[in-house]
């Protein structure tokens, strides 16, 4: 039988072919370097007298022969060789030698020999009793490598100690190694993130290995988004979150997941919008460093993003919305950079902290497929609601005198008839649970599919994801589709990588409107008639009052409230390993986003029920908005790393970047729909006093940053960063700003006097100071702005007028930060912890400055104001049980964060706005004063309820008792932000099963209990128009002498009073999960490497010292997710 001959040949233009294949992976898989027999005829004869200089360790024969081919032009192939020729690992170190000498060195002690024929190097198996070769007895050892959960580990390097002979485990963790029989043989097993194991070989034919996680190695590199830094010599404060932790504590979206893991990533709870899947929350890291310039808009609920951290994914900036919708299955790790030493490399964008996300990279090897499917439940949580039932509510109305009219007997009769009609309905069993009417258990679904594979030179991955969140309110939901392709090609010292991703989102709000409308409905009103028809109207209070519309009716109409976006991102990078110490990397990214919003109100909606006369032609409304945004970003990074004299380590990096962001949008509102069809063409005109509107902005920035890190003897280290940024957002005289940081560190555990301490494994001290900035402001804030007249013309010419003054000297606001940190691990890394103490002072705060009215303007933008944040963060975790033999562990952890916010200087404009709002006879949530937090609560002090009159006794601004409430008497009552917040976690693992619990808590803050104001201490008119809290019956003043907490029922409205300002202490179960990994021979027969079942639950319970209604416009919900995943 003729021997099979395999030729592995690469042509001269391999790099050209590689680049072509870089963009077309489906043309190249599975073998980049194979050649057809027809191509063999084109082989070029080469001389063999060329010299070879080559140094490679732990590479395949093909990889090393490619290096020889690059220097000599000799192609290569394999003839009748075993698998070890293709997959074994070998080493070579030669300098200026002949081809023959190089090959002899490479193949010495192996089972292979070679011949050089017609420009080819042919590798063959040595023949027994060859006169030119010594005879070796061969030894074969095989086995399987798994992790602590008995999952197979592909890609583990298995080396024969002291030689270049080795192998790599396959997809199922299997390996086979052939080597000459010698004495004192040891095998070394190594894998990134796992402890390297050395096992002595004593002749056993099978050697199975269980790899153990190396926690220290997992944390040894910090990815900052620009430079990669060794944690051992990193002075920055950073939290690192791995992929397993993300999956274990996952919530409704990625923002909630990060909240469950690190309390420093503060997701501000929104009591109004609860668990609305479409609501983007407020996020802060180490407090708020910027102030709004318009207090009125802030108190009206206008959202600002001044304090949102910078978010970087794979070296490029993304939006908070993108992070919220991102597929957690595609994330490898997340680093939260907190202090100046960590964020100064981002200069003008780093003051609010930086979240750096690293997505999964394709792995080489056989084709691997990951598939996951899951179901989610959004279960409404109404435990905070305590509304009256129908009988009690009717009794309250009678006691409040709402069915009595002493001066009008005719009206009194009508009121009594209304009362007895409602009483009859109650006696007949009418008891409507209005809270449940717009709610359901939202059933969502999610799917993920990922393919990856390739060779060492060319790797690729492709992924698809779909996530459908069905909210607790009927009809609300958020659907996200994501897909991506990553291609990576290496040629010699060059690596090309391209990542393309596309994301599409559609979100819808519930057609049932605001949840508060249902919480106000009377429980004795039946939404449906006896024959099953919807009651459109309920009777008014009596015959003199108009009917009340059933809120369920609007849900039956064609109302629309939806929005969506489509985003395409492409990031390309080239990395050149110029020398072992010097690396040059270039990156360019581009993203394009289209977004739309549609809001339609049917002309039959309750909003228009009172329209009469000409107003009838204005019934119905359609608001449409669309926009586009583009981002272009590129940078070049040069990094150098070298160790000198064994004790000196130097890292230096230089990065230059440039970026542009542009956006434009337009919208209009139409009204006057003649039928209930959401078609803009049916509208009669634009909305009254309205016209089409549009907006546009373009910002540009460039930056240059340098970083130097020096380490002496792995004990003492210094970290320096300097960045210069330029931005179009600031004045022409102050376009550029300089930001910097300096840090010192001490690895105490590496001191010689410490020795081999069995109790203390790691003790690291860090100190840093630096200055960073922020760009989250208006694009044209420094420029004079003009607006065209839209209602006047001169002849046929349009005019323009000046809207606001510019400021050529407007410059960056700068945040100076100190940080003192410590990290430790003890008892053989059984217990780990960290502590960071910090201070942040934001200077040159951007704010409006008052100017003389003679200028025609009241203010312009200037650098005035200061805000300070001080606090600490601490964490500790430890194994109570860590039994590797029984594969069982129990770990507990805790994290605590403290932050105090203080306004140290205010602009005159904000002082004026505060005084104007204070003197207005209205209740406001936010006022700014120097020396206080920007989230302070102000109310009039109360001495309680006067037992003799039932009225509330206040203290005026001079501290004198009075019955008169005045807004000028408001004083500081506390801060709505908790001073302390944290979480406590428990993780139990036994064989393939893992249980995780994450409890959240906070205390030290205050909350104004608006439920007491709106639903408890109510006036007769409030009782008349809707349902109230059951507490309205308790502790009310009824007669002279009552010493109670609440006033009696009267027409006097309760204003903001210190009686309702309460300590805010919370304890909750944020996340609970159970996962089980199944890996059996039966599954492997079907090609399934691992099967995982997981159950994730969020917000299972919530205990608070403030008894109030939670989720007023949209309820809170408990989230449950069930997932199954397969790895092929």
Query: pLDDT band at 4, cuts 50/70/90?
Result: very low
Q: In the Cβ-directed half-sphere of 716, how many Cα atoms lie within 13 Å?
A: 2
Output the pTM of the full model. 0.77
Given pLDDT bands bounded at 50, 70 and 90, which one contains residue 35? very low
- CA neighbor of 825 nearest in space, from 746, 897, 749: 749
**Residue indicated by tokens 């002291």:** 162
Residue whose C-alpha is closest to residue 251's, from 963, 982, 1096, 998: 1096
In a domain, 625, yes or no: no
Predicted pLDDT of residue 731: 73
Binning pLDDT at 50, 70 and 90, where does residue 329 land? confident
**Residue 849 in tokens:** 């400055």
Mind giving me the DSSP string for 1055-1077? -SBGGGEEEEEEEEEEEEEEEEE
Query: Token pair for residue 1012?
Result: 């007491």
Highest mean pLDDT among 402-406, 598-602, 644-648: 598-602
Whole-angstrom distance, CA of residue 522 vs CA of residue 1025: 8
The DSSP call for residue 7 is -
Q: Residue 30, preceding bond cis, omega within 30 degrees?
A: yes
How much is the CA Rg of the chain, to the nearest whole Å? 35
CATH number at residue 156: 2.60.40.1120
Pick the last residue of a domain from 90, 125, 160: 125
Residues 16 and 121 placed together within one structural domain of the fold:
yes
Asked if pLDDT for residue 919 goes beyond 90, the answer is no
Tell me what pLDDT residue 912 has: 80
Band of pLDDT at residue 466, cut at 50, 70 and 90: very high
C-alpha dist (Å) from residue 608 to 544, 546, 827 = 21, 14, 71
Query: What is the pLDDT, as a whole number, of residue 46?
Result: 40
SS3 for 411-430 is HHHHHHHHHHHHHHHHHCCC
In a domain, 31, yes or no: yes
Specify the range with the lowest mean pLDDT, choosing from 139-148, 685-694, 740-749.
Answer: 139-148
The candidate with the shortest Cα–Cα distance to 381, out of 484, 261, 262, 472, is 472
The CATH number of whichever domain residue 22 belongs to comes to: 3.55.50.30
CA-to-CA separations, 822 to 218, 249, 296, 752, 876, in angstroms, rounded:
19, 26, 43, 20, 12
The closest alpha carbon to 125, from 206, 31, 4, belongs to 4
User: How many structural domains are present in the chain?
Assistant: 3
Choose the final residue of a domain: 186, 213, 240: 213
Rounded CA separation 267/283 (Å) = 5
Query: Do both 52 and 84 map to the same domain?
Result: yes
Share of the chain above pLDDT 90, in %: 34
58 and 94 fall within a common domain: yes
Q: Please state, as a whole number, how many other Cβ atoms lie within 10 Å of the Cβ of residue 421.
A: 11
pLDDT at position 85: 57
Angle of helix 99-107 relative to helix 61-72, nearest 10 degrees, comes to 170
Classify residue 627: in a domain, yes or no: no
User: Measured on CA atoms in the order 722, 724, 730, 735, is the torsion positive or negative?
Assistant: positive
For the record, the structure tokens of 1101 come out as: 């319970």
Element (H, E) at 998: strand 993-1008
Residue that wins the pLDDT comparison between 837 and 327: 837
Token representation of residue 259: 């909240």
The reply to whether 121 and 14 lie within a common domain is yes
Evaluate whether 447 touches 372 at the Cβ level (below 8 Å). yes
Same domain for 32 and 117, yes or no, is yes
Considering the domain architecture, whether residues 62 and 110 belong to the same structural domain is answered as yes
Question: Do 92 and 189 sit in the same domain of this protein?
Answer: no
Smallest CA-to-CA distance from 236 within 801, 683, 834, 803 is with 834
Condensed to tens digits (0 to 9), the pLDDT of residues 317-328 reads 888 888 898 888
- Residues 102 and 162 occupy one common structural domain: no
pLDDT of residue 451: 92
The predicted pLDDT at position 435 comes to: 95
Share of the chain above pLDDT 70, in %: 86
Question: How far apart, in whole angstroms, are the C-alpha atoms of residue 904 and residue 288?
Answer: 13
Say yes or no to pLDDT of 857 above 80.
no
Cβ atoms 423, 430 nearer than 8 A: no
Contacts of 852-858 with C-beta under 8 Å, sequence gap 24+, read 855/805, 856/802, 857/804, 857/805, 858/909
Give the Cα-Cα-Cα angle 512, 518, 521 (nearest 5 degrees): 135
Cα 544 from chain centre: 55
Among 67, 102, 125, identify where a domain stops.
125
Residue showing tokens 């009690």: 392
State which of 156-165, 255-264, 438-447 shows the largest mean pLDDT: 438-447
Length of the chain, please? 1128
Residue 49 belongs to a domain: yes
pLDDT digits (tens, 9 = 90+) for 864-876: 788 999 999 999 9
Query: Across the chain, what does the average pLDDT equal?
Result: 82
What's the rounded Cα separation, in Å, for the pair 739 and 349?
10
| pLDDT of 40 | 34
Q: 414 in a domain, yes or no? A: yes
**What is the distance between the alpha carbons of residues 469 and 508, in angstroms, rounded to a whole number?**
10
Q: What is the mean pLDDT of residues 408-426?
A: 89
> Does residue 208 share a domain with residue 111?
no
pLDDT of residue 525: 92
Is the confidence at residue 32, as pLDDT, over 60?
no
Residues 120 and 10 in one domain: yes
Helix/strand/coil (H/E/C) assignment for every residue in 149-179 = CCCECCCCEEEECCCCCEEECCCCCEEEEEE
Residue 770 lies inside a defined structural domain of this protein: no
The mean pLDDT value for 215-227 works out to 62
Give me the phi and psi of 397, to 5 degrees please.
-60, -40
Is residue 960 assigned to a domain? no
Asked if the structure places residue 474 within a domain, the reply is no
Query: pLDDT for 143-180, tens place per residue?
Result: 888 876 566 676 677 877 765 567 777 656 778 887 76
Query: Over the stretch 925-983, which tens digit does the pLDDT of each residue have?
Result: 678 888 899 889 999 999 999 999 888 999 998 889 999 888 888 889 999 889 999 99
**What is the structure's pLDDT at 26?**
33
- Amino acid 1: pLDDT: 36
Residues 77 and 44 in one domain: yes
> Domain containing 144: what range?
138-213
Nearest to 1049 by CA among 1059, 1062, 1061, 1034: 1034
Same domain, 202 and 98: no
């Amino acid at each position: 039988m003729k021997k099979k001959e395999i030729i592995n040949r690469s042509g001269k233009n391999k790099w050209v072919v590689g680049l072509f294949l870089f963009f077309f992976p489906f043309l190249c898989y599975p073998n980049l370097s194979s050649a057809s027999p027809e191509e063999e005829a084109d082989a070029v004869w080469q001389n063999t007298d060329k010299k070879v200089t080559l140094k490679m360790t732990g590479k395949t024969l093909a990889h090393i022969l490619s290096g020889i081919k690059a220097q000599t032009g000799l192609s290569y192939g394999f003839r009748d060789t075993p698998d070890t020729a293709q997959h074994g690992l070998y080493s070579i170190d030669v300098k200026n030698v002949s081809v023959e000498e190089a090959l002899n060195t490479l193949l010495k002690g192996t089972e292979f020999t070679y011949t050089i024929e017609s420009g080819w190097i042919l590798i063959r198996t040595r023949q027994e009793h060859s006169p030119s070769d010594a005879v070796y007895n061969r030894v074969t050892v095989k086995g399987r490598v798994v992790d602590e959960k008995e999952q197979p580990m592909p890609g583990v390097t298995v080396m024969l100690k002291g030689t270049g002979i080795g192998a790599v485990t396959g997809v199922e963790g299997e390996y086979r190694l052939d080597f000459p029989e010698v004495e004192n043989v040891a095998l070394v097993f190594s894998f990134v993130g796992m402890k390297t194991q050395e096992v002595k070989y004593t002749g056993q034919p099978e050697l199975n290995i269980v790899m153990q996680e190396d926690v220290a190695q997992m944390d040894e590199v910090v990815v900052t988004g620009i430079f990669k830094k060794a944690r051992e010599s990193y002075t920055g404060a950073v939290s690192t979150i791995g992929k397993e932790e993300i999956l274990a504590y996952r919530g409704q979206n990625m923002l909630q997941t990060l909240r469950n893991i690190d309390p420093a990533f503060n997701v501000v709870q929104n009591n109004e919008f609860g668990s609305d899947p479409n609501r983007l929350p407020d996020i802060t890291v180490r407090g708020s460093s910027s102030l709004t310039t318009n207090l009125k808009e802030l108190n009206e609920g206008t959202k600002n993003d001044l304090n949102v951290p910078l978010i970087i994914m794979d070296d490029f900036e993304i939006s908070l919305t993108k992070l919220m919708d991102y597929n957690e299955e595609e994330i490898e790790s997340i680093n939260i950079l907190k202090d100046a030493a960590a964020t100064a490399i981002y200069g003008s964008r780093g003051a609010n902290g930086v979240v750096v996300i690293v997505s999964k990279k394709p792995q080489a090897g056989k084709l691997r497929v990951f598939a996951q499917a899951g179901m989610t439940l959004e279960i409404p949580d109404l435990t905070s609601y305590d509304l009256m039932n129908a009988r009690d509510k009717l009794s309250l109305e009678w006691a409040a005198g709402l069915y009595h009219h002493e001066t009008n007997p005719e009206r009194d009769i009508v009121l009594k008839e209304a009362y007895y009609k409602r009483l009859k309905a109650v006696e007949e069993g009418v008891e409507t649970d209005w809270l449940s009417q717009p709610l359901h258990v939202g059933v969502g679904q999610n799917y993920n599919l990922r393919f990856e594979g390739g060779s060492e030179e060319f790797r690729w991955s492709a992924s698809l994801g779909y996530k459908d969140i069905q909210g607790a309110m009927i009809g609300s939901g958020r659907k996200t589709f994501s897909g991506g392709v990553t291609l990576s090609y290496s040629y010699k010292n060059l690596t090309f990588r391209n990542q393309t991703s596309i994301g599409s989102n559609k979100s819808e709000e519930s057609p049932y409107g605001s949840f508060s409308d249902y919480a106000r409905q009377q429980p004795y009103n039946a939404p449906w008639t006896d024959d099953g028809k919807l009651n459109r109207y309920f009777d008014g209070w009596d015959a003199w009052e108009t009917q009340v519309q059933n809120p369920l009716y609007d849900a039956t109409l064609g109302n629309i409230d939806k929005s969506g976006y489509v985003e395409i991102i492409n990031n390309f990078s080239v990395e050149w390993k110029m020398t072992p110490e010097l690396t040059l990397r270039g990156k360019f990214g581009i993203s394009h986003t289209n977004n739309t919003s549609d809001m339609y109100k049917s002309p039959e909606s309750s909003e228009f029920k009172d329209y009469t006369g000409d107003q009838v032609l204005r019934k119905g409304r359609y608001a449409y908005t669309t926009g586009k945004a583009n981002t272009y970003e590129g940078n070049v990074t040069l990094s150098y790393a070298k160790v000198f004299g064994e004790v000196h380590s130097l890292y230096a990096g230089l990065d230059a970047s440039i970026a542009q962001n542009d956006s434009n949008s337009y919208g209009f509102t139409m009204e006057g729909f003649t039928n209930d069809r959401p078609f803009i063409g049916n509208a009669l005109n634009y909305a009254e006093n309205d016209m089409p509107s549009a907006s546009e902005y373009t910002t540009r920035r460039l930056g240059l940053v340098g970083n130097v890190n020096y380490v002496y003897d792995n004990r003492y280290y210094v970290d320096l960063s300097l960045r210069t940024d330029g931005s179009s957002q600031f004045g022409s005289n102050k376009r550029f700003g300089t930001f910097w940081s300096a840090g010192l560190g001490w690895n105490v555990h590496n001191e010689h006097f410490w020795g081999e301490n069995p109790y203390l494994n790691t003790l690291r001290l860090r100190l840093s100071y630096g200055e960073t900035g922020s760009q989250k402001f208006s694009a044209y804030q420094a420029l004079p702005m003009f607006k065209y007249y839209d209602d006047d013309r001169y002849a046929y010419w349009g005019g323009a007028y000046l809207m606001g003054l510019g400021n050529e000297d407007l410059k960056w606001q700068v945040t100076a930060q100190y940080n003192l940190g410590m990290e430790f691990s003890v008892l053989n890394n059984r217990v780990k912890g960290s502590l960071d103490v910090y201070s942040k002072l934001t200077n040159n705060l951007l704010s409006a400055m008052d100017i003389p009215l003679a200028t025609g303007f009241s203010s312009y933008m200037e650098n005035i104001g200061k805000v300070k944040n001080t606090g600490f963060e601490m964490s500790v975790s430890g194994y109570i049980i860590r039994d590797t033999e029984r594969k069982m562990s129990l770990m507990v952890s805790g994290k605590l964060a403290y932050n105090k916010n203080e306004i140290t200087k205010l602009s005159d404009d904000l002082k004026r706005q505060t005084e104007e709002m204070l003197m207005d006879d209205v209740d406001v949530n936010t006022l700014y004063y120097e020396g206080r937090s920007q989230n302070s609560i102000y109310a009039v002090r109360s001495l309680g309820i006067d037992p003799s009159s039932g009225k509330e006794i206040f203290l005026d601004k001079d501290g004198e008792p009075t019955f008169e409430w005045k807004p000028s008497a408001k004083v500081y009552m506390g801060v709505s932000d908790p001073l302390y917040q944290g979480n406590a976690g428990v993780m139990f693992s036994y064989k393939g099963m893992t249980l995780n619990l994450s409890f959240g808590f906070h205390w030290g803050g205050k909350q104004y209990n608006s439920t007491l104001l709106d639903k408890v201490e109510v006036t007769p008119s409030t009782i008349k128009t809707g349902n109230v809290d059951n507490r309205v019956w308790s502790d009310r003043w009824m007669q002279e002498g009552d010493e109670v907490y609440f006033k009696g029922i009267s027409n006097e409205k309760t204003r903001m009073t210190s009686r309702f300002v309460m300590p805010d202490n919370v304890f909750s179960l944020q996340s609970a999960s159970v996962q089980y990994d199944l890996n059996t021979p039966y599954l492997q027969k079907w090609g399934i490497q691992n099967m995982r079942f997981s159950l994730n639950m969020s917000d299972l319970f919530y205990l608070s010292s403030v008894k109030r209604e939670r989720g007023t416009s949209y309820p809170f919900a408990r989230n449950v997710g069930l997932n199954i995943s397969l790895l092929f």
